[in-house]
Structure formats: structure tokens, C-alpha cells
Amino acid sequence: MISIMKSWLAIVLSLSSSVAEEFNYQEAQVPAYQLPALLQQQDGSSAETSKQWQETRRAEIFHLLEQRMFGVSPPRPTLRFRVMEPATHALDGTALRQQVRVYFSSQDETALDLLIYRPRNSVKLPPVIFGLNFKGNQSVQSDPGILMCRSWVNNQELKKPDIHHALEESRGTDAGKWPVAYAIQRGYAVVTGYYGDIDPDYDDGWKNGVHSLHPEMEKNRSSETWGSLAAWAWGMSVAMDWIVQEPSLDGKRVAVQGFSRLGKAALWSAASDPRYAIVISQNSGAGGAALNKRIFGETVGRLNRSFPHWFCKNFHRYSENESAMEFDSHFLLSLCAPRPLLITSATEDRWADPHGEFLAARATNPAYSLFGHEGLTATTMPSPGQLVNDRMGYFLRHGRHDVTQEDWKAYCDFCDRHLPQQP
């Protein structure tokens, strides 16, 4: 028996080692790579002014990422919404809670439920931190008044066999990622919606969510047709349509926030929608803020194998072929310029490559310089817990792939400095 146990342990250790060795976590093993020039235009000239950037180079980069990475999205629908709950006292009377259903079409079953908390006694219209959540609005706070998720849910996230019972038990389970009371104390409104309301996060053949609203587009799907990341980004812009017209919120001072895969979506939504005043990407890694050509942690090939629905088909040509990419993440980050952009990482989240995220931010500086901003001035990664509060900020936290109140403190500190002041 002991011999069998030793043999089994040896097999397990061998398998664990082979899995670990499949991905690079050593800086010494990062291959030599050359980043595409950010300012070099298709005609060979270089963008030298903010006007050239805005009129030519930015459009070239956006089109490139749209065609080769995220896919082409349809126009946004005409705004249609329904107030599900008027402003109601919440969080021991410090906040007002409101719930609104934003429809993506005339079909009532396809809609995004927004959960809104705002300071109750704010003298001025509060600025907004807006982002999507992973488990449904009911998971954001332990609050029985929050409407239950009605859409597809990732039962793997909930870790319960009975989905209906699991949803009820999920109330407040992600409150650590959404410290709403803290944000309210800092003077910010928080708006969130469930990403599964927009599009389910599995390879469903584009038959559900907002993809189902465009049958001709899906029937004639090409290598440039939008994937789920673009769909989530599109849905965020539809939610923004509601935020900017809501009289109780300051629609001109909205920070869009996203974590992990939703950090990728937030970056693409910001690239597509100029109305966000600030962009915050947390632990977005490969396909987001991290440089793909470093081949560190998660890779393009792993992204496309594990999540074939996220990007457009064209992006699959770069699987195990990052050296052929005509762009990298600094192109995506540059589409936020000249808006303030905060990149956050975690020390133990090597899968998302914190160093690669920092280097990508540094590589984005030329776009910000065209507008008279230094971008990210730090030349080496800051110590954990230290916010580099430049026009392009960077924050590294001790810990794993997660969102904590420490991250939200960095969000609020960054927004305090960079959001335009309300007259």
C-alpha cells in the first residue's frame, strides 16, 4: 500500500510540474521582443501632435484592434429603461439604493439590471465608479432588497448544484470586491450590473444574450465579427447611455472599472466610448493591460483555447504566434489617452503578469505626451501599496488575483486627483 501511495504521489507531482512548466513565470525566460511603434502611422510617418493622433493614428489603432482582436460591434440600441425600484434608504441611511432595467431591444427578456448606490446627503451630484460584476447584483451586498439575477449564471463561480438555491445563498458573497459603504463614504456613487445579463460567458455558438439580437450578423459571422468581450464592452456603453441622462448622478464624471476579464472589457469599452472620464483596469492580464509578447503567465494561445468566444476569430491567428502581432497591449491602453488611466496589479497574480502591465503602461507614454502629459513617470515598479498617481497611474497590491478595499482606496485616491472638479 505504501509503495502504491508513493507511486501515485510521484505521478501527481509529475503532472503538477508539467502543468507549471507549461507557462513561463521566469523573467529570465522572457523572449526577446520588439513592440510595434505606437505613433507610427500606416503611411510611415509619425504622429507628432494631438491633432494627428485624434484624426488619424487613434482611428488606425482602433480599427486594427477591432478587426484583429475584439471584433466589430453593431450600433447601440435606442435607450429604453424601466425603474424597478425608486431611490430607497440603504446602508444604515448613508446611501440611496436604486435599481433600473436597461433594455437592449424591444424584447423585454434581454436587459441589463443596474444596481445603483449613491450618497444620501451629497450636496453636489456624486461622481460614479461603474463596472460589471461576476455573480449577479445580489452578490454585491448582503441586502435582501437587491433584485435576483434572472440571466445565465456561472455555476462554477457559485459552486452549488442547485442554481436557484445557490443564487439566494450568493447574496453578499462578493461584497469584499464591492466595498460600497467605503465608496459612499468617499463621496462616490457605485453603479454595477451583471455581465451575464449582457452575454453568457461560455462558447454557446453566439445564440444567447445580445448576440441573439443580431441574427443576420451571426448568420454571416466572419473572422471580424464581435466576441463576448466586445459584447460586454458594448453593454457597458448602453448602461452609460442611462448613467449620463440620470439626473441624480454626475454623468460627466464617470470612472469605468473592470477586474480580470472584465478589465479587458472595460478597456475596450473605454476605447469605444469617449464619455468615460477615467479608466481603471484591475489585473486584466493577457488580452488586457499586460504585454502579450512577453509570453509570461497567461498567453494568447491559452486565452483562445480556454475562452474561444471572448475575441473575434482573427485573434486566434496569434495563438503561440505573439511575435506576429502587429500591436500589443500598449495600443489598447493608448486608446484611453488623454484620459486618466489607472492600472492595478497584485504581487501573487503572476498569471496576469504585473510587470508586463507596468511595462505596457510605460510604453503608452508617447500617446499621452502628445497631449502634454507625462503619462506614467515611474521607471521601475513601485513597492506594493504605493500608488503612482500620475495621469497614467499604477498600483501594486500585496496578494492574489482579487479586488479588495485597498484597491478601492487606490481607485478613489486616483479619482480624487484626476476627475474634473464640479463647478
Where in the sequence numbering do the catalytic residues fall? Answer: 260, 401
Per the DSSP assignment, residues forming a β-bridge with 257 are: 131, 280
Separation of alpha carbons 273 and 203, rounded Å: 26
Q: Which phi and psi angles does 64 have, rounded to 5°? A: -60, -50
What burial class does residue 389 get, using C-beta atoms within 10 Å of its C-beta: 0-12 exposed, 13-18 middle, 19+ buried? Answer: middle
Separation of alpha carbons 270 and 336, rounded Å: 6
Separation of alpha carbons 274 and 184, rounded Å: 25
Separation of alpha carbons 182 and 184, rounded Å: 5
Q: SS3 string of the chain?
A: CHHHHHHHHHHHHHHHHHHHHCCCCCHHHCCCCCCCCCCECCCCCECCCHHHHHHHHHHHHHHHHHHHHHCECCCCCCCEEEEEEEEEEECCCCEEEEEEEEECCCCCCCEEEEEEEEECCCCCCCCEEEEEECCCHHHCCCCCCCCCCCCCCCHHHHCCCCHHHHHHHCCCCCHHHCCHHHHHHCCCEEEEEEHHHHCCCCCCCCCCHHHHHCHHHHHCCCCCECCHHHHHHHHHHHHHHHHHHCCCCCCCCEEEEEECHHHHHHHHHHHHCCCCCEEEEECCCCCCCCCHHHCCCCCHHHHHHHCCCCCCHHHHHHCCCHHHCCCCHHHHHHCCCCCCEEEEEECCCHHHCHHHHHHHHHHCHHHHHCCCCCCCCCCCCCCCCCEECCCEEEEEECCCCCCCHHHHHHHHHHHHHHCCCCC
Dihedral Cα 74, 80, 85, 90, nearest 10 deg: 50
